[in-house]
Amino acid sequence: MTLGSGPSFPRKFRLRKSSEFETVLRKGRRLNSSHYVIYCHRNSFGYPRLGTIVSAKRCGGAVKRNRIKRVLREVFRLNKHIFDSYDVVVLAKGDSHKLDLETATDDIGKLFERLS
């Protein structure tokens, strides 16, 4: 199976159910940076899946929250090889809306280097 890096973010690469999020948050390993908290738990699918949590209380209005989610999906889409076979939940912190794609990629990449 090829992971591909096409322009889409298909459903199979998403965490969609609350039970999937709960499993990762409860059983997963927690990694912290100044902009994100990442929970990751190995899955049996052979490809990574992403879930995002961007709260209005921490991150502000809808425009900021949507930008954070777009950047996170793009980091994931372009760097699936980093995430191996993990279910990943990214919890955004307050000022993560200011990050560009390169900075977000570096930040998340450094966290996953610590994982292995």
**The pLDDT value given to residue 115:** 78
**The pLDDT value given to residue 6:** 57
Print the domain residue range for 23: 11-103
**The pLDDT value given to residue 1:** 40
Residue 2 lies in a domain: no
Average pLDDT, 10 consecutive residues per value, the chain (116 residues): 61 95 96 94 95 93 94 93 93 92 94 82
Which CATH number does the domain housing residue 61 bear? 3.30.230.10
Residue type at position 66 = N
This prediction has a pTM of 0.89
Residue 109 lies in a domain: no
Contacts of 103 (CB under 8 A, 6+ apart): none
